[in-house]
Structures are given as structure tokens and as C-alpha cells.
């Protein structure tokens, strides 16, 4: 017997609209079961999806999707949406090579109105879609579903401010923002009073009466008009007050020009459906709506509910026990080496402080925070602020280490240039997940940092080839106080290098020879995580009788010109390998070689990522697709030799 009979019977999404409340609840229960089963096989982001099962069913049953656009901020929570929108049979390929993306993706389905994976973008995109439908004379809704975490991102408030202006000016929007708040208790708002009042203030009679009152008030003396408007606002604020007299954000959103509704229990279809229906059918003159929905991350799956991270990101797991099937639980990752090394450095230097942008666990700074809670700062999803905050700390003589994923550091690019490098402030950038990241795919590849950092004056850029080198580079960054310095390191486990108890201070801009052959056929130069593949390719070339030298450049900026010059003069050919886009180490090396007229008798190849976005797969698969794998190095070497 099927565990999901009601979901099985749903042949087409449009059938949701004809289902009664009892049937929708059963479909939601099945959808939760199906989501758990799917993620248990592939791994992925589970907790966020479980928190929006009822909301997903409600949105698709009330609105005319895909004609009405739904944008899921970040996209962690889209698995139930994918299952409902024709991709159920493909969920076994989730986050696998050639399979479904772990996020929203326009090319994957017409129901994915906007591609997401970085946070805080949904309201801007939805507002653009809402405004476009107005300009084209269409009546189509744009619905942004954004989490309370993503609402810490400044871009979300920029969009709210713009959207609210339209409502204030009397140019109402067909925009609906659903704030999915999964960090607040839902004990009180689930009561009958809250549910009833939310339905009342979203209903057509109330909204119609409100419009009439506004028209009447506009013909009265200003003092009376203002008093009436203030009274109406006071009533709404009072209705939304909690049992302690506190407020749930209504004033803020109302001040921005939104018609605020909530809080609403996001797991109660009895509340969700009438409110969404009222908003759908209501007077658009009210302006954009913001519906505050309270949910529980991991809802309905006990192992997720009791886990600290609510099973945000999981490997494949046993559904009955919740036990995850991680291959090497004791292996050292680059992130853990960074964490341990920074803690050691902080023991000796009280000026060291750490900054993360809503990723304390992901960057390893959660361990630092346990030991030095007053010296660790989580700024939320606010990379721009985090970098400039670090600049302010550096101005006062502290040593800030700003730990942010490579793909997210892109959002703070102006701050790196204007607030840090231009003023030559000693901020240390610790760039995690540099290079290929595996199952998260194109949206999270950390492949642009070598290029976008190497062009910035005053900035030092390092990349460790193993765990021991990372420890040395943390020590180097702690000792370097002459300007900004960056360390980029990959996702996942290291190569097994032994990390010494004391890191060494490296000479800035100096690489190292790993192995040298006096025959001088070819030199293979790599930086960072590509060294292991470079050494493997070198061994195969040596087995074929070629003389091969392997060098670890260590620094993308400044490059080791002395080492590069030496290799160019003593070898027939040179290959430069990096796990990144064009514009990084290879370009800098070519520029130097050209300036010294060393290219006349030297064959040179630079291996960088191909000019394409690399989709999800294993990290080794991505290296092959990108053209920087061991096989790519061998092919390039054999071609020029």
C-alpha cells in the first residue's frame, strides 16, 4: 500500500483548486512524507522544505500558478514545490550530475519563475514581475516567499522600500510578500482570536470599509483625517499584539507602505487558505501585502525537529532513525583546519576577532565563538556590512578575520575595494568553498574570487594546497598588518597532510618547488587545490620519460616572479593550473612572461575553468567538465610536448 495515496491521485496541479480543506490537508501530509523519502536518498536541504509544506499547498491551491509568479527566496525550501510541479519522478536525481537543481531554476520548470540560491533577492524580482504585469495591462500576482533569515539581507529592505513607495503614492502593486518566520514561537498566534482577526483584516468587507473610510476622511479637515488614519492603524496594531503587549513587525512594514497581515500559523490550512484567498480577491488599492507566516523548520519529522540545525543540510539518511550516512565522519576538512588554526592564533593574540555572515557553522566560527564569544560576530546575511564592519575594527587596531564563502563574498565586492583596499586596512578575508563545491551547483561555485581579488591594489591573495599550508597561511595573515590579505580554500576534506602544532609565517609572494627534474621538458605550476591533480599528472608524464618540475605558486598576488622566471628559462614548456575562471593566476603569469620577453622559446598553456557555469555534480566531475582535472593537464602537456 502506498504511503502517499492522496498525492498519488493528484494527476495535475490544477486539481488542487477543486479540493476541499480536508483533502488539502491529506495532500500536505503526503507531500511531507514524500519530501522526507526523496531527500533520504539524495541528501540535500530538508528542514526548510518541511517547514513550508502547508504553505506550498496553500499557494498552489489559491493562486493560478505558473501564470501567477512565485519566487522562493534562496530556494532551500523548494523541494515540496518541485514535487507538486511535475518533478516528483525526477527527485532521485536531485543535486546529482544531470539531475534536478537543489534550488529554483528557470530552465528546469515554468513553475520556477526566478532562479535563486543566494538570499534576499526574491522581493526585488517579484516587484519587477508585478510592475511588468501592470505595464502590460495584465492582472497577475507576483508572490515572494522570504525567510526571516533572508530578511537580514539589506537588498530585501531596498526592495521593500521601493515596493512600499508605489503603494503610498496610490499606484498599488499586485505584489504579495510572504514572510516565512521559522524562528518565532507559534504558541500564541495559533489561537482562535488571532486566526479570526487575521481573516477579518484581510477580508473584502473590511478592506472595502477601509477604502470608504479613507475617502470620507480625505474630505475632512486635516486634523480629523489624521486622527482617523491614526485610529485605524492603532486598531490593526492592537489586533496584532501578542499576549505580552509586544508587536510582530506590523508597524515596520506598515511604515514602509505594506498592508501587514499576521502572524499566521503557517502549518494551519484553516488559517492560511482564507487569508490567501482574501488577499487574492481583495481591493488592490490597499497596495502591496505582507503576510507574516510562522512555521517550524523540520516540521513533521522528529529527528529534524530536535536537531540543532533542524536538518538544514543533510547527507542521505535512514528515514526511521534519521541517522545520516556520512562517509568520513572523522576526516579533517579545510574548514575545521581554519577553525583550529584561528583559535590557536587567537590564544596568542587578543587583537584577533572573527566575523561571519550568518554562517558560523559553515565557516567553522561556531567553535571560535564558544571559546571567544565576545570576539566573534555574526552579522546576519549582510556580507557588505560584515566587510565594512571589519574595516572599522581594523581602523581601531584589531585584527579582523572575515570568514565568508567565495560565492557570497561577491556581494561585498564594492566594500572590499572601497572600504578596505583603497584605505589599505589590514582586514583578513578567509574565503571558504573556493573552487568547485559539488552538489550545490552553479549558483555556489567559488570560481571567480581569484580573478575578482587579484585585480585589486594593495590586496594579497593566497591559496593553500593542503591542510598544513592553510595553517601556515592563517599564521601568516595574523602576522601581516601592512594591508588586506585573503586566503581562499576549498570545500570538503583535505589531502591528509600533517598539520604542525605551530604554523609558520610565509614570505609574502613566494612559491615553492614540489619536485624538480633537470631535463627541463615541462614545468607544471598550480595554485591551491589543483596541486594534487598536478602531481598525479606529473607522475604519469614522468612514467612516459618526460622531465617534469612541479611548483606550488602559493600566491596569486603577488606572484613569485623569480620562481616563474627561473622555470621559464629552464623548461621548454609551462602549464599553469588553477581552479577558477580566467583573470586569475594564469593571466598574471602570462603578463609577466610577456613583459620579460620570455615567450619566444617557451610554450605556455593556462588551464582555467571553461567559459561556462558548471552545474551540480561531484567536485571531481566538475573539475573534468571545467577542464582543470588531471586528465586536462595530461592532455595539455602531451599536446605541447
| Least confident window among 130-134, 348-352, 420-424 | 130-134
pLDDT grade for 249, boundaries at 50, 70 and 90: low
Q: Are residues 352 and 440 in the same domain?
A: yes
Give 202's contacts (C-beta < 8 A, 6+ positions apart). 261, 274, 275, 278, 279, 282
In a domain, 317, yes or no: no
Per-residue pLDDT at 284: 67
Strand pairing of 522-526 and 573-577? parallel
Indicate if the pLDDT at residue 3 is higher than 60.
yes
Tell me whether residue 441 is in a domain.
yes
Mean pLDDT, residues 512-538: 96
Q: pLDDT at position 165, please? A: 84
Model pLDDT, residue 229? 52
Could you tell me the three cell numbers for 510? 613566494
- In the listed set 488, 523, 547, which residue is the last one of a domain according to the structure? 488
pLDDT at 168: 67
Domain assignment present for 320: no
Same-domain pairing of 483 and 568: no
Calculate the alpha carbon distances from 627 to 9, 435, 622, 632 in Å. 46, 13, 9, 5
Q: Is the pLDDT of residue 228 over 50?
A: no
Set of cell numbers at residue 244 = 505580552
Q: Is residue 389 part of a domain?
A: yes
> In terms of domains, do 14 and 144 share one?
yes
Residue 265 lies in a domain: yes
- What is the per-residue pLDDT for 525? 98
Residue whose C-alpha cell is 530578511: 151
Report how far residue 557's alpha carbon sits from residue 578's, in angstroms, rounded to the nearest whole number: 13
Question: pLDDT tens across 310-326, in order?
Answer: 989 999 999 999 999 87
Angle between helices 204-218 and 269-281 (to 10 degrees): 40
Same-domain status, 166 and 298? yes
In the listed set 488, 522, 557, which residue is the last one of a domain according to the structure?
A: 488
Average pLDDT over residues 517-536: 95
Grid coordinates of 182? 521559522
pLDDT digits (tens, 9 = 90+) for 101-127: 999 999 999 999 999 999 999 999 999
Q: Are residues 372 and 446 in the same domain?
A: yes
Q: Is residue 390 part of a domain?
A: yes
Task: Name residue, grid cell 602570462.
Answer: 590
Least confident stretch, 76-90, 170-184, 349-363: 170-184
Whether the CA torsion 262, 265, 271, 272 is positive or negative: it is positive
Q: Which of 394, 366, 212, 369 is nearest to 286 (CA)?
A: 212
| CATH number of the domain residue 161 falls in | 3.40.50.970
Same domain, 356 and 246: no
Residues annotated as part of the active site = 297, 383, 411
Cβ neighbour number for residue 361 with a 10 Å cutoff:
15
Strands 485-488, 522-526: parallel, antiparallel or unpaired by DSSP? Answer: unpaired
Q: Which of 286, 61, 73, 312 is nearest to 180 (CA)?
A: 73
Taking residues 598-605, report their average pLDDT: 94
Angle at 230 between CA 225 and CA 236, to 5 degrees: 135
- When pLDDT is averaged across residues 483-497 and rounded to a whole number, the result is 96
Task: List the beta bridge partners of residue 259.
Answer: 289
Cα 360 to Cα 378: distance, rounded to the nearest angstrom: 7
> In CATH, what number is assigned to the domain containing residue 635?
3.40.50.920
Query: How much is the pLDDT for 252?
Result: 85
Mean pLDDT for the chain?
A: 90
Which residues constitute the domain of residue 604?
513-640
Q: 237: pLDDT confidence band, cut at 50, 70 and 90?
A: very low
**Based on the domain organization, do 518 and 483 belong to the same domain?**
no
Looking at the structure, do residues 442 and 561 belong to the same domain, yes or no? no
d(CA 562, CA 366): 40
Lowest mean pLDDT among 60-64, 151-155, 246-250, 330-334: 246-250
**In this predicted structure, which of 162-171, 389-398, 409-418, 482-491 has the lowest mean pLDDT?**
162-171
Residue 495 lies inside a defined structural domain of this protein: no
Q: Are residues 586 and 450 in the same domain?
A: no
Q: Give the cell for residue 256.
A: 514602509
Q: Is there a single domain that holds both residue 450 and residue 541?
A: no
Number of domains in the chain: 3
Q: Based on the domain organization, do 484 and 395 belong to the same domain?
A: yes
Evaluate whether residue 313 is within a structural domain. no
Distant-in-sequence, close-in-space partners of 624: CB < 8 Å, separation ≥ 6: 631, 632
Give the pTM. 0.88
What pLDDT sits at residue 222?
57
pLDDT at 208: 52
DSSP letters of 381-428? Answer: S-HHHHHHHHHHHHHTT-EEEEEEEHHHHGGGHHHIIIIIITTT--PE
pLDDT computed for residue 325 by the predictor: 82
Same domain assignment for residues 80 and 161: yes
Residue 611 has pLDDT above 60, yes or no: yes
Q: Pick the range with the lowest mean pLDDT from 44-58, 160-174, 471-485.
A: 160-174
Q: Which of 451, 472, 488 is the last residue of a domain?
A: 488
Burial (CB < 10 A; 0-12, 13-18, 19+), residue 141, is: buried
Amino acid at each position: 500500500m502506498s504511503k502517499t495515496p492522496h498525492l498519488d491521485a493528484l494527476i495535475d496541479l490544477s486539481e488542487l483548486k477543486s479540493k476541499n480543506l480536508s483533502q488539502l490537508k491529506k495532500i500536505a501530509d503526503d507531500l511531507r512524507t514524500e519530501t522526507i523519502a526523496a531527500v533520504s536518498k539524495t541528501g540535500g536541504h530538508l528542514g526548510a522544505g518541511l517547514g513550508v509544506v502547508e504553505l506550498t499547498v496553500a499557494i498552489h491551491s489559491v493562486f493560478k500558478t505558473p501564470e501567477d509568479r512565485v519566487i522562493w527566496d534562496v530556494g532551500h525550501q523548494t523541494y515540496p514545490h518541485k514535487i507538486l510541479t511535475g518533478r516528483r519522478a525526477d527527485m532521485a536525481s536531485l543535486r546529482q550530475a544531470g539531475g534536478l537543481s537543489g534550488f529554483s531554476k528557470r530552465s528546469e520548470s515554468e513553475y520556477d519563475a526566478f532562479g535563486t540560491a543566494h538570499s534576499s533577492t526574491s522581493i526585488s524580482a517579484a516587484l519587477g514581475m508585478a510592475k511588468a504585469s501592470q505595464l502590460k495591462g495584465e492582472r497577475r500576482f507576483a508572490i515572494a516567499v522570504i525567510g526571516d533569515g533572508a530578511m537580514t539581507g539589506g537588498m530585501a529592505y531596498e526592495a521593500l522600500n521601493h515596493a512600499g513607495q508605489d503603494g503610498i503614492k496610490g499606484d498599488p502593486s499586485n505584489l504579495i510578500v510572504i514572510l516565512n518566520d521559522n524562528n518565532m514561537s507559534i504558541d500564541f498566534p495559533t489561537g482562535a482570536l488571532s486566526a479570526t482577526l487575521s481573516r477579518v483584516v484581510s477580508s473584502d468587507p473590511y478592506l472595502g470599509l477601509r477604502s470608504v473610510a479613507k475617502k470620507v476622511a480625505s474630505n475632512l479637515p486635516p486634523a480629523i483625517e489624521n486622527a482617523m488614519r491614526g485610529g485605524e492603524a492603532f486598531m490593526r496594531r492592537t489586533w496584532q499584539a501578542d499576549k505580552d503587549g509586544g508587536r510582530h513587525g506590523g508597524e515596520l512594514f506598515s511604515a514602509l507602505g505594506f498592508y501587514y497581515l499576521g502572524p499566521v500559523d503557517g502549518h494551519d490550512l484553516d488559517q492560511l487558505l482564507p487569508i490567501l484567498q482574501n488577499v487574492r480577491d481583495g481591493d488592490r488599492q490597499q497596495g502591496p501585502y505582507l503576510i507574516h507566516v510562522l512555521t517550524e523548520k523540520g516540521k513533521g519529522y522528529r529527528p529534524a525537529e530536535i536537531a540543532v540545525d533542524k536538518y538544514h543540510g543533510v547527507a542521505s539518511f535512514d528515514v526511521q532513525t534519521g541517522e545520516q550516512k556520512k562517509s568520513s565522519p572523522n576526516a579533517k576538512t579545510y574548514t575545521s583546519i581554519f577553525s583550529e588554526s584561528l583559535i590557536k592564533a587567537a590564544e596568542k593574540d587578543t587583537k584577533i576577532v572573527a566575523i561571519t555572515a550568518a554562517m558560523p557553522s559553515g565557516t567553522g566560527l561556531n567553535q571560535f565563538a564558544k571559546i571567544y564569544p565576545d570576539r566573534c560576530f555574526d552579522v546576519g546575511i549582510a556580507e557588505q556590512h560584515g566587510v565594512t564592519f571589519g574595516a572599522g575594527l581594523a581602523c581601531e587596531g584589531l585584527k579582523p578575520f572575515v570568514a565568508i564563502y567565495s560565492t557570497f563574498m561577491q556581494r561585498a565586492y564594492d566594500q572590499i575595494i572601497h572600504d578596505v583596499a583603497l584605505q589599505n586596512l589590514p582586514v583578513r578575508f578567509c574565503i571558504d568553498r573556493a573552487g568547485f563545491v559539488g552538489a550545490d551547483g552553479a549558483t555556489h561555485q567559488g570560481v571567480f574570487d581569484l580573478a575578482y581579488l587579484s585585480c585589486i591594489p594593495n590586496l594579497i591573495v593566497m591559496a593553500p594546497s593542503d591542510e598544513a599550508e592553510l595553517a601556515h597561511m592563517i599564521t601568516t595573515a595574523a602576522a601581516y598588518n601592512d594591508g588586506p590579505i585573503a586566503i581562499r580554500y576549498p570545500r570538503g576534506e583535505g589531502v591528509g597532510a600533517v598539520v604542525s602544532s605551530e604554523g609558520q609565517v610565509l614570505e609574502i609572494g613566494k612559491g615553492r618547488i614540489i619536485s624538480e627534474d633537470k631535463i627541463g621538458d615541462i614545468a607544471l605550476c598550480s595554485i591551491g587545490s589543483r596541486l594534487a591533480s598536478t602531481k598525479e599528472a606529473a607522475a604519469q608524464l614522468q612514467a612516459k620519460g618526460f622531465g617534469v618540475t612541479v611548483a606550488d605558486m602559493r600566491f596569486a598576488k603577488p606572484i613569485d616572479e623569480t620562481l616563474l622566471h627561473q622555470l621559464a628559462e629552464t623548461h621548454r614548456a609551462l602549464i599553469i593550473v588553477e581552479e577558477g575562471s580566467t583573470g586569475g593566476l594564469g593571466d598574471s603569469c602570462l603578463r609577466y612572461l610577456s613583459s620579460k620577453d620570455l615567450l619566444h622559446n617557451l610554450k605556455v598553456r593556462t588551464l582555467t575553468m571553461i567559459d561556462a557555469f558548471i552545474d551540480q555534480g561531484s567536485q571531481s566531475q566538475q573539475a573534468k567538465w571545467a577542464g582543470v582535472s588531471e586528465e586536462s593537464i595530461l592532455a595539455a602537456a602531451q599536446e605541447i610536448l
